[in-house]
Structure 1
Amino acid sequence: MPKVGIVYFTHTDITGELVNAAASEIEEAGLDIFLHRIKATEIVGGRFVNLDVFKNLNSCNAIIFASPTYMGGASAQFKAFADATSDFWESQEWSGKIAAGITSGAGLNGDQTSTLQYFSTLASQHGMLWIGIDSAYGNSEAALNRLGCQLGVVSQNEDGTAHLVDLATVKYLSRRVAKLAKQLLK
Structure 2
Amino acid sequence: MSKIVVVYFSGYGHTKRIAEVVAEGAKAELLAIDSEGNIPDAGWEQLAAADGIIFGAPTYMGSAPWQFKKFADATSKAWFTRAWQDKVFGGFTNSASLNGDKAVTLISLQTLASQHGGIWVSLGLPPANKLASTREEVNNLGGSVGLLVQSPSDAGADAIPTGDLETARQYGARVAAITARLK
TM-score normalized by structure 1?
A: 0.89
Q: CA deviation at 1:49?
A: 6.5
Q: How far apart, CA to CA, are the structure 2 residues paired with 1:20 and 1:71?
A: 24
Partner of 1:82: 72
* Residues 4, 61 of structure 1: 8 Å contact kept: yes
Residue by residue over 1:22-65, the C-alpha shift from the partner in whole angstroms, topping out at 9 and shown as x without a partner, is: 112222xxxxx331111135x4xxxx464321111011011000
Q: How many residues align?
A: 175
Corresponding position of 2:32: 37
User: Which residue in the other structure is 1:62 paired with?
Assistant: 52
1:160 counterpart = 2:156: yes
Is the CA contact 1:105–1:157 (under 8 Å) kept in the aligned structure 2?
yes
| Shift in alpha-carbon separation, 1:9–1:127, aligned structure 2, 3 A | same
How far has the Cα of 1:88 moved from its partner? 2.4
Q: State the TM-score, normalizing by the size of structure 2.
A: 0.90
- Residue 145 of structure 1 pairs with residue 139 of structure 2: yes
Partner of 2:98: helix, strand, or coil? Answer: coil
Task: Structure 1 unaligned segments of length 5 or more: list them.
Answer: 28-32
Q: Corresponding residue for 1:6?
A: 6
* Amino acid across the alignment from 1:17: R
Distance 1:6 1:166 in 2: 17
Residue in 2 aligned with 1:184? 182
Question: Cα deviation per residue 1:85-129 (whole Å; 9 max; x = unaligned)?
Answer: 012212111111111111110111110111100000000000000
Residue type of the alignment partner of 1:160: G
Unaligned runs of 5+ in 2: none
**Comparing 111-120 and 141-150, the one that deviates more:** 141-150
Instruction: Say whether the 8 Å CA contact 2:137–2:164 is kept in structure 1.
Output: no
Structure 2 counterpart of 1:128, which letter? Answer: G
Assess if the C-alpha contact under 8 Å between 1:132 and 1:151 holds in 2: yes
CA RMSD of aligned residues (A): 1.4
Secondary structure of residue in 2 paired with 1:122? helix
1:92 aligns with 2:92: no
Which structure features the higher share of strand residues?
1
**Residue 137 of structure 2 contacts residue 162 of structure 2 at CA under 8 Å; is this kept in 1?**
no
Is contact 1:34–1:57 with CA below 8 Å preserved after alignment? Answer: no
Instruction: Tell me if structure 1 keeps the 8 A contact 2:94–2:148.
Output: yes
The answer to whether 1:118 aligns with 2:115 is no
Identity %: 36
